[in-house]
Amino acid sequence: MKKCDYCGKEISYMEQYCCEDCQRNTIKFYDYQEKYTKLFSVINSVCVFAIPIGLLMFSLVNVIGITMIAFALDILGITVFLFPFPTENMISKFKLKKATNICKILGVILFILGIALTITDFIFFI
């Protein structure tokens, strides 16, 4: 049996979605993704480049490097949570609803990791 492209429920081969809500949610997601992809890419690129720069700064000045890494992880976590844009492979494997939930969970994990680094920074280096 074929599965709904949004929620993953089994459907007939003639259909793409199991109900109108799944179709509306899919269209809503792709409109949202099209609207905010550039913003997501810019923030993601800045944060991904800030992490190695923070590691380099950590070797020179401990406090600034850890703070930069923690800040980049926090911003990256918030961005991934607000803009959960999974890859096409994730969407085809897990379907859209589960793939966006996985991205949101990863965003929360990144944010918690950034907060933990900030707390560690204050405990050990200040």
Write the pLDDT tens digit of every residue in 12-38: 888 999 999 999 999 999 999 999 999
Instruction: Decide if pLDDT at 126 tops 70.
Output: no
pTM attached to this predicted model: 0.88
What average pLDDT does the chain have? 93
Domain ranges of the chain: 37-125
Q: Contact, 65 vs 55, CB < 8 A?
A: yes
